[in-house]
Amino acid sequence: MSLSEQHAADLSAETVVVAAGRPPRERDMPVNPPLVLSSTYFGTGSLDTGDRGYGRYSNPTWDPFEEALARLEGAELPGLLYSSGLAAVSSALSLIPAGGALVMPTHSYSGTLVMASELAQKGFVELRAVDIADTAAVKAALAPGGPGARPAAMLWLESPTNPMLGIADVAALTEAAHAAGAIVVTDNTFSTPLVQQPLALGSDVVLHSVTKYLAGHSDVVLGALVTSNPDIRSALLHNRTIHGGIAGPFEAWLAAGPADARAPGGTVTAVRNDPRGAAQQPPPGRVHPVPGAAR
């Protein structure tokens, strides 16, 4: 059992950053998680639940990062690591039923908007773009009135948005979305879990472009999803496995290394102590992606 598992309830976020995902504190165990480069694993003749089996299903190198991110986000289940932020976006959007309505910020990350727009053009989703800072407008898009109007299937939040820094009232919008029967996905890339934990505010899924703050050194391209809902996680895991959006083990190993436990703009304490999260906070003063536009 690792240090973080023994004392998880007592650890600050700053300690979790350096403690979670470490190997067990046992004699002759390495201090750092190892890098595993293998496409296949020895089996027993049948592939049972939990067996690694094949490199597209699982890799031990993913586990430390997925554990650490889940702890930071307050999730009850391990996270899921992806080959890029947009691979994670694609997996999250797969939760929308065919033809379902998607409410998304007008100023979402450009790659996310392009992907959603292309899905809409092909008739896979109905895209409703709104100013995410206008709570009333978002609520109206979630449950529009009039003959034939359908409630939304998914609310996509970014707070702050990339790059316009629009701030959403995550708790209020999540409550409205659930009342309409929608799943809520929150892109928490710019806030990071040190500033905002969307699951605690009611979101169903949290997304990260790990390329940005979580990796922080401009040396990897990765994405991640986190949820506490077993059915949602199962669907996301199946999508990752079948569609192949898996992370390279070397990138996962780099991302899981020791990181600076600093939040953008030094806003950790103020926002952490505000139960509304970032919704009522001014935009952090230094929120910028790491150099380069890769996601």
Q: Which of 185, 224, 181 is nearest to 202 (CA)?
A: 185
Cβ atoms < 10 Å from Cβ of 291: 7
Please pick, among 52, 56, 262, 272, the residue that the annotation labels catalytic.
Answer: 56
Which of these, 80, 84, 103, lies nearest to 181 by C-alpha position? 103
Cα(84)–Cα(41) distance, integer angstroms: 25
Which position among 212, 233, 240, 295 bears the catalytic label? Answer: 212
109 is catalytic: yes
Cβ distance 171 to 112 under 8 Å? no
Choose the catalytic residue: 128, 187, 213, 233: 187
The Cα–Cα gap between 86 and 72 comes to 21
In angstroms, what CA-CA distances link 21 with 17, 252, 288? 9, 12, 27
HEC string for 168-195:
CCHHHHHHHHHHCCCEEEEECCCCCCCC
Which helix (H) or strand (E) covers residue 125, if one does? strand 125-130
Cα 118 → chain centroid:
22
Catalytic residue among 109, 204, 213, 233: 109
Instruction: Tell me, yes or no, if 57 is annotated catalytic.
Output: no
Any idea which residues carry the catalytic annotation?
A: 56, 109, 187, 212
